[in-house]
Each structure stands twice: as structure tokens, then as C-alpha cells.
Amino acid sequence: MKKLELKCWGFFLAMLFIMAAPLLLSGCRTALPPEKESTVITVKETLHDTTFIDVPDSSAVKALIECQNGKPVLKQIINATPGRKLRAPTLTLKNDTIGCDCRSDSLKLYAFWKSKQVTTNTEKQIPVLVDKPLKWWQKTLIGMGFILLIMLLVFGGWIIEYKLKK
């Protein structure tokens, strides 16, 4: 009967060791949070305006006018000078009036346009590990586990020594 009782205790301790070994050998480390990466795209649209000024331009003409029967008559155009953009002026003489198209005022052109500026900012958040000191109950559990491990080793050595004597 004593032999059967010893075998039961040996089986019980072997099972206890098999079940306790993973708990004793495992660590209590928590998983790190993943690195967070965020990208912010900023689009800035700016409205621009400008004025284009065109310089004034002119053209000139010289002509001879003669009186015939008391009325002015265009006799001869001596010189007609065109401008940068203007053609040589034309003269018209009707009754007592003379017409000439020869000048241009300055031109102002207003222009508007939009420009886009795209800015990409990437922000990476890396978690920082902070070691915290163990609390009193955690230290107590570690000490108890160490004592239990020593007791299991002593008891296991005792069982092996007992079996070798037989």
C-alpha cells in the first residue's frame, strides 16, 4: 500500500511540475504598442493679381493743305510715321474739318491667377518604455515562486534518490 501511495504522490508532483513549469518559465512582459505614423497633407491655395501696363504709343503725319475756291483741299502727304502698334494715321478732310486717328492711350490689363502649394508632413510616434519598480506584492510572489522552485527541486531530488535506492 505504501508503494502505491508513493507512486500517486510521484504522479501528482510530476503533473504539478508539468502544469507549473510554463507558468514559472513565462515572462510578464506586455506587448509594445505599434508605432503610429500619420501623414497630413496641406493644400494652400493663394489668389494672385497683377497689372500689366502697356506704354503709350503715337504716330505722326505731315501734309500740305491748299485752298481752292475758298475751300481747303488736301494736296500732298509729306511724311507719315507709324508707331510701335499704330499704323500710319489717315487724314480726312471734309468741309472745314480735318480728321486724324493717330494716338493710343496706355493700356492696363488686370490678371488674376491661383497658385497651389502642397505641403506633406509625416509625424511618427514612437512609444517610450518606462521601467516601473515592482510593488510589494509582486516581490512577495517572486520570493514565493523561488521558494516553491527550491522545494520542488529538493523534493524531486528526494524522489530520484529514493528510486535509485530501490
Is 143 a domain residue? no
Is 76 a domain residue? yes
Is 153 a domain residue? no
Q: Is the pLDDT reported for residue 158 higher than 80?
A: yes
Is 121 a domain residue? yes
Q: What pLDDT is attached to residue 106?
A: 64
Residues whose CB falls within 8 Å of the CB of residue 127, separated by 6 or more in sequence, listed in order: 32, 33, 35
Is 92 a domain residue? yes
| Stronger pLDDT, 18 or 10, i.e. the higher one | 18
Least confident interval from 14-18, 102-106, 121-125, 158-162? 102-106
pTM summary value: 0.32
Q: Is the pLDDT reported for residue 1 higher than 60?
A: no
Give residue-wise pLDDT tens across range 96-150.
677 777 666 666 777 788 889 999 999 888 888 788 898 999 999 999 999 999 9
- Range(s) of the domain holding residue 79: 48-126
Per-residue pLDDT band at 41 (split at 50, 70, 90): very high
Q: What pLDDT is attached to residue 91?
A: 77
Q: Count up the domains in the chain and report the number.
A: 1
Is 106 a domain residue? yes
Give residue-wise pLDDT tens across range 46-77.
888 888 777 777 777 788 788 888 777 777 77
